Amino acid sequence: MKPWVRNSLFTVICLVLAGSVVDRWVRREPFREPAPVTQANHRADSIQAAAARVDAAFAGEWSRTGVPATGRAADLTIARRLSLALAGTIPSVEEIRAFEKVPSGQRVDWWLSHLLEDPRFSDYLAERIARIAVGVEGGPFIVYRRHRLVTWLSDEIRRNRPYDELVRELVTAEGIWTSRPQVNFVTVTVDQNNDKEGPDEQKLAARVSRAFLGLRIDCVQCHDDMFGDRWKQRDFHQLAAFFACAEMSLTGVRDDAARAYEFKFLRRAEKETVTPRVPFNAGLLPVEGPLRQRLAEWITHRDNRPFARTLVNRTWALLFNRPLHKPIDEIPLDGPFHPAMEALADDVVANGFDLHRLIRVIASTRVFQSDSRSEDLSRPVTAEQEGLFAAFPLTRLRPEQVAGAILQSANLRTLDAESPAFVRVVRFFQQNDFVKRFGDIGEDEFDGFAGTIPQRLVMMNGELVRERTKEDLLMNSATRIGAVAPDEDVAVETAYLAVLSRRPTPKEQSHFVDRLRAVSDVKRSVRMGDLFWTLLNSTEFSWNH
């Protein structure tokens, strides 16, 4: 075959393949309706009753302090909050069109069902839980596979497995880290320079106390508390002793009941054997059984309130970008507790640690659906209102949320598991690169953080924003809007929906329509790219509100 024939044939094949990909992307399946809720504990009346108890707790506090509450936010604002909280991105224009076809009073419930069915939710929440359980570091490569753990968590969350069951599996896991992903909770603590020593009991005790009990017992790892708190050095190491049985073997992690935990306490001459003992609520600890199994049953016991409160606090932080109690991993054992936290803890225990239900309850509250602005714009929302959740608190988006929002804004279609493979691959690498440059907060991602000048420069001059606003008919919505919008009014409105998940105000609409018309000698797709760049670099885009 002659070279020119071979080259021509190759070109034709590439064009056909590219055309099929574009055709699949453009002619995607219609937006699917979420399935009706069938779980008994997800009934609307039960959800609303639980949400009302939470709202009553906050209303009582507002009444006592005389702090006024803001009104309800717009439907699209609530949808944006939920998308950022549960999927780490913003709604697509495609999703917004479907959302607005639903009757107003049903939209939030409909949107919640849509998100909870979406693999983006389970993947996103799995990463949040993994950060709590094992952190963000790579760990010992030989015996640790973080991605396997995240995938397992995502699969379990998708089928709404009770949270207490997930935690018990993590604490008690045995086997090989590749075939039993739960085991990675244990093997991440192995010293990769000496994996024969087995898992680190002290690291596991610290993870358990902070991640699942909301307590910083590891603060007394080296000495008794210096400020008169209840915790002693022995409390921590007695908790760590429950993990002494875990050892590495040819078949992975296995328990050896004969293994003992030894530690040299402060100002002691010799090591001593430490007896496993829980630091509080000892009556809830099973008397018999393997050590890790007994510990797991104690942690997740329905009467062990720190476990329920920690789940509530972390779920609240997921939805608000701010925990109900700060610091998120230091909830006082004996209180005082916010009445709303107690109401939610009661509900989550009564309903079997159903994570989907807990999310529905919090999202259904007046507190979550409140506006971040006062109706009287001459009287801005105060820090006291935000602190008491009388107004939805403004928080900066985390790096992965900013990246997810940028990438979704550049596509009118939804970027999800049904997107073409090449689109998902490009999204994966671009998001990871952006987060690396922007700065990953790490496992303490709900502690709050201040924006930096380098972060603003990444937004203004970085590769991702530049690539997603330049002229590109296939990959960028700015170009597609410029090409197909019938006029500037429609173009501006669609741009606002794509980037800010709202329509422009009359003043904004008039301003940008005039600006677009004023430069008629420049292609509209290029002008739209400038508009997208402006919206992406607005303060509103980078904040949860």
pLDDT in tens, 391-403: 999 999 999 999 9
Higher pLDDT, 160 or 229: 160
Tell me the pLDDT band of 184, cut-offs 50, 70 and 90.
very high
Q: What is the pLDDT of residue 526?
A: 85
Query: Which residue, 128, 149, 150, 145, is CA-closest to 400?
Result: 128
* Integer Cα distance of 369 and 351 in angstroms: 23
Q: What is the largest CA-CA distance in the chain?
A: 87
**Model pTM score:** 0.91
Q: Is the pLDDT of residue 16 over 50?
A: no
In one letter, which amino acid is 306? Answer: P
pLDDT tens digits, one per residue of 309-319: 999 999 999 99
Q: Which of 537 and 436 is assigned the larger pLDDT?
A: 537
Residue % of the chain over a pLDDT of 90: 62
38-88 pLDDT, tens digit each: 677 788 899 999 999 999 999 999 999 999 999 999 999 999 999 999 999
pLDDT at 422: 78
Higher-confidence position of 218 and 486: 486
Give the span between the Cα atoms of 6 and 8, in whole angstroms.
5
Question: Is the Cβ–Cβ distance between 147 and 120 less than 8 Å?
Answer: no
Q: Do residues 496 and 503 make contact, with C-beta atoms less than 8 angstroms apart?
A: yes
pLDDT of residue 39: 73
Written as one letter, the residue type at 329 is D
What three-state secondary structure class fits 278? coil
Predicted confidence (pLDDT) per residue in 136-181, tens digit: 888 888 899 999 999 999 999 999 999 999 999 999 999 999 999 9
The reported pLDDT for the residue numbered 27 is 52
Amino acid at 388: L
CA atoms within 13 A on the CB side of 36: 4
Phi/psi for 89 (5° steps) reads -155, -175
Asked if residue 29 lies in contact with residue 418, where contact means CB atoms within 8 angstroms, the answer is: yes
pLDDT of residue 5: 53
Model pLDDT for residues 245-266, shown as the tens digit of each residue: 999 888 889 998 889 888 887 7
- What is the arithmetic mean of pLDDT over 95-105? 94
Which pair of structure tokens corresponds to residue 152? 């397992």
Predicted pLDDT at 7? 54
Between CA 317 and CA 325 the distance in angstroms is 9
Kindly give the residue spans of alpha helices, DSSP state H, lying in 335-476.
339-350, 355-363, 383-387, 399-409, 421-438, 453-461, 463-467
Q: Is the pLDDT of residue 96 over 80?
A: yes
pLDDT digits (tens, 9 = 90+) for 429-485: 888 888 888 877 777 777 666 677 778 888 888 888 888 888 887 778 888 998 889
Classify residue 118 by its DSSP letter.
Answer: S
H-helix or E-strand spanning residue 253: strand 252-255
CA distance 489 to 516: 10
In the chain, the percentage of residues whose pLDDT exceeds 70 is: 91
Q: What is the mean pLDDT of the chain?
A: 88
